[in-house]
Every structure is written in structure tokens, then in C-alpha cells.
Amino acid sequence: AQSVTQLDSQVPVFEEAPVELRCNYSSSVSVYLFWYVQYPNQGLQLLLKYLSGSTLVKGINGFEAEFNKSQTSFHLRKPSVHISDTAEYFCAVSLSGGGYNKLIFGAGTRLAVHP
Amino acid sequence: DSGVTQTPKHLITATGQRVTLRCSPRSGDLSVYWYQQSLDQGLQFLIQYYNGEERAKGNILERFSAQQFPDLHSELNLSSLELGDSALYFCASSVGAGTGGEQYFGPGTRLTVT
């Protein structure tokens, strides 16, 4: 079975500072990795995904993530955050190669950007 | 706007009742997914349909059922409701059935059971 651990439930940061949201996963088979963002009172939006290839993945809104197979991690980073980045961020995995597309989510990290 | 629509936005009902949540996927998407988001369980996958057929099942309770119709919209039926069923229910859609494809999420239906 697969599982996802988001190591921080809340991350406060000042505007224009860098941020890293941590995600570790557990799986005995190959997985695909995703980061989703949920703004208040909205659905989830895909930030970026890793399927294969380069381990550094760039996404929307200036976010990037690095896949580290040996550490089973997929941490999300942004060099300079804005107030508008305040939201909940979810790391997720799905089995690679399956004929279905079930996402398993972490518990989420609430990013609070302060002026 | 993801292009996925869900109705109703809010639903308040009593224990023991039955409700139906409706989802219309993005134009061209054949897969529909249902997820439950609650404070204690987080975001959980319930079920996936692809072109009318059930494709994958998660921890969906026996009191819950879903279907996808020929026009590709989907309904999630929740019966014998309990207080613990109070949650945000999301529908998502994607073009294909297989893993790796981007899922587009609707705004959710907030269910409150009193």
C-alpha cells in the first residue's frame, strides 16, 4: 500500500522569503507524484507532477519540486513567496502503470504568508 | 474555473436521511472521481468511473454508491446518513482512465448532517 506523509501541518513565512514544504512517501512499487493547492473555499488545483525523467519539476506560480528516490521525498519549494500563496498544499501519489488513477493524499500543509 | 461543476454547493440534512450529489465533468473528460475531505480523515479517494464503468474503489462505505450516466455526469448517493458523514465532497475529472493524468477538481459540495 502507498502512503504520504507531509511533515509540517503549518508553515508560517514572511512575504518574499523562500519556502520548502516537505513530503515523504512510502510505496513498494513505482509511483507518480503530485502537488496540489487548495485556496480557501475552492477545489484543488494541480501545481506540478513527476511522472519520469528529470527529477527537478517546475510547476505553475513559480513552484518547483525535486524527486529524490533514495529518500522517497518530493519536497516543494518556492524561492520567494507572495501573500497570494497563502493556501493549503497537498502532496499526493498514484501507482504508475495502473489502469486507474487513484490519488492518495497527505494530510496537507497550511502555508501562511505574512507581510 | 476547472470546468467541473458540482451541485448543490451546500447541503444540510438530518441523520438517517439520503442525499444525492451531482457532478458534471469537463467537456471531453471520460473519467470521474469522487473524494471526501473531512477534518479527521483528510482527503480520501472514494471511487472512479470511466465511460460509465467503475474503474477503482477506495474506502467507500456500503451506505454510499455512485454511478456515471451515458452523458458522463455522475451522482454520488449517500444514505442512512450519520454525523460523521459531514464533509466536503469533491468530484474530479480527467481525460483518460490511467494513472498520471491530471485530475481537474470541482468546487465541492459541503454536506452537513445534523
- Please give the residue of chain A at the shortest CA–CA distance from B36: A105
Kindly report whether the peptide bond that precedes residue A115 is cis, defined as omega within 30 degrees of 0.
no
pLDDT of residue B102: 87
Average pLDDT along chain B:
95
For the stretch B55-95, pLDDT in tens is 999 989 999 999 999 999 999 999 999 999 999 999 999 99
User: What's B43-101 look like in SS3?
Assistant: EEEEEEEECCEEEEECCCCCCEEEEECCCCCEEEEECCCCHHHCEEEEEEEECCCCCCC
CB contact at 8 A, B9 and B106: no
Residue B72's identity, in one-letter code, is L
Rounded to an integer, what is the distance from CA B60 to the centroid of its chain?
A: 11
Give which of A44, A46, A52, A109 to mutate to test B binding, by max B Cβ within 10 Å: A44
- Please give the residue of chain A at the shortest CA–CA distance from B91: A43
For the stretch A41-88, pLDDT in tens is 889 999 999 998 889 999 999 999 999 999 999 999 999 999 999 999
pLDDT of residue B82: 97
pLDDT of residue A71: 93
For the stretch B5-53, pLDDT in tens is 999 999 999 999 999 999 999 999 999 999 999 988 999 999 999 999 9
pLDDT of residue B62: 95
Mean pLDDT of the region B105-110:
96
Q: HSE of B14 in the Cβ direction (CA atoms, 13 Å)? A: 0
Provide CB contacts within 8 A for A44, sequence distance 6+. A36, A37, A38, A90, B90, B92, B105
Please choose, from the candidates A38, A39, A101, the residue with its C-alpha nearest in 3D space to the C-alpha of residue B95: A101
Cα–Cα distance for residue pair B10/A107, rounded to 1 Å: 23
Cell 477538481 locates to B105
For the stretch A8-33, pLDDT in tens is 999 999 999 999 999 999 988 888 99
Out of B45, B105, B108, name the one closest to residue A102 (CB): B45
Cα–Cα distance for residue pair A6/A37, rounded to 1 Å: 14
